[in-house]
Amino acid sequence: MKVIQYTPEKLHTALVSNSQYLTKVYSKYTKEEKRLLEEGFHAGQPGSLFQLLTVHSDSDWILAHPEEPEDFEAFYRKPYRKTPNESQSTIYIQTIGSFGEVAAQTDQYMEWLRDYCQAFFYGLSVKLLPAVAVSETKCSFRVNSNSYNLQILTGDLLQFLKKRKPKDAFCIVGITMIDLYPKDSWNFVFGQASLTEGMGVFSFARYDDNFYKRSYAGRLKKHLQPRQKDYSVFDGYYTPPITSSLLLRSCKTMTHEIGHMFGISHCQWLSCVMQGSNHLDESDRRPLDFCPICLRKLQFAIGFNIAERYKTQTSVKASASHTTPHFTKPTEAFNASKLWVCRCLEILEKDQ
């Protein structure tokens, strides 16, 4: 395992900047907010809120996709960075295909994701679009020749989302429990986005603990080769159970990808939900929230009060709102994150 560690001076520059103007902007944070943000300078030390970035194998994202670390100033100066405004301040979520055996289960799961997204991007509105069947997208699909599960083509889904994107949308994200592929030569892809057009599509299919097992219920008979445009193959197609770990992984992926819509690049400073990931183990190592540098980027883009954002996140992770008697919200995997947010609030509310 390799540990990536920057000096406190380097992290200070990444967070605050050497720019006189951006330093002045940073000075407007309260002393409690600065105390929280500057906790990152002590990452990896006993009791620290933030952890160092680690690389466990050559297949991890940082080694496979070398990128220049993006500090706050580089983010601020991006010419194509999207910022919400009065006329475009809503995040839309579009469900594609089923997320459960009954419609009520899909609706319940989507409400949980919406609530989490609303708290994470505190200050913006998050709305659910009516769910659509795969057939409504008119997308191409195939059976994966290695894993024998159904897959749908990302490019076609992005074209569908482009037509569905409301005028007041900051961005629109499509989510599905069906595996994805970007082109015939690729085995699969977790998701694909067009950041300039504010849209993306992502699959949670491979977040099922059993996906890579031969016993996976989504595997089709090897001889089955459905005809294009015959969408009946998706009728009753397997969707994994909504477990606590699947909900956690879904929240990570959704907030990570929407983070990109704001122009936030993959994080290479500290352990952060904006880290890139090439595989499930690497994705699971990511925390559920931002490091201080990425938090400042998001706060600058939206303008939220940091303490109020964390308070809202705490209530959502613990809440059983929108839970029906048949579908209890699986929050066990969120317990460590809830305790972490409470520690952040202790810093933010100290001496108040």
- Residues assigned a catalytic role: 257
Phi, psi of 130 (to 5 degrees): -55, 135
| CA dihedral of residues 178, 182, 183, 186 (deg, nearest 10) | -80
Q: Distance (Å, rounded) from C-alpha 261 to C-alpha 189? A: 18
- Per the listing, tokens 């055996």 go with 101
CB–CB of 173/201 below 8 Å?
yes
Residue 119: C-alpha distances to residues 73, 94, 176, 295, 307 (Å): 26, 18, 21, 14, 12
Q: Distance (Å, rounded) from C-alpha 75 to C-alpha 299? A: 12
The CA angle 34-40-46, to the nearest 5 degrees, is 120
Q: Distance (Å, rounded) from C-alpha 278 to C-alpha 189? A: 10
Nearest to 233 by CA among 114, 143, 323: 143
The two tokens of residue 299 are 């706060």
Q: Distance (Å, rounded) from C-alpha 180 to C-alpha 176? A: 9
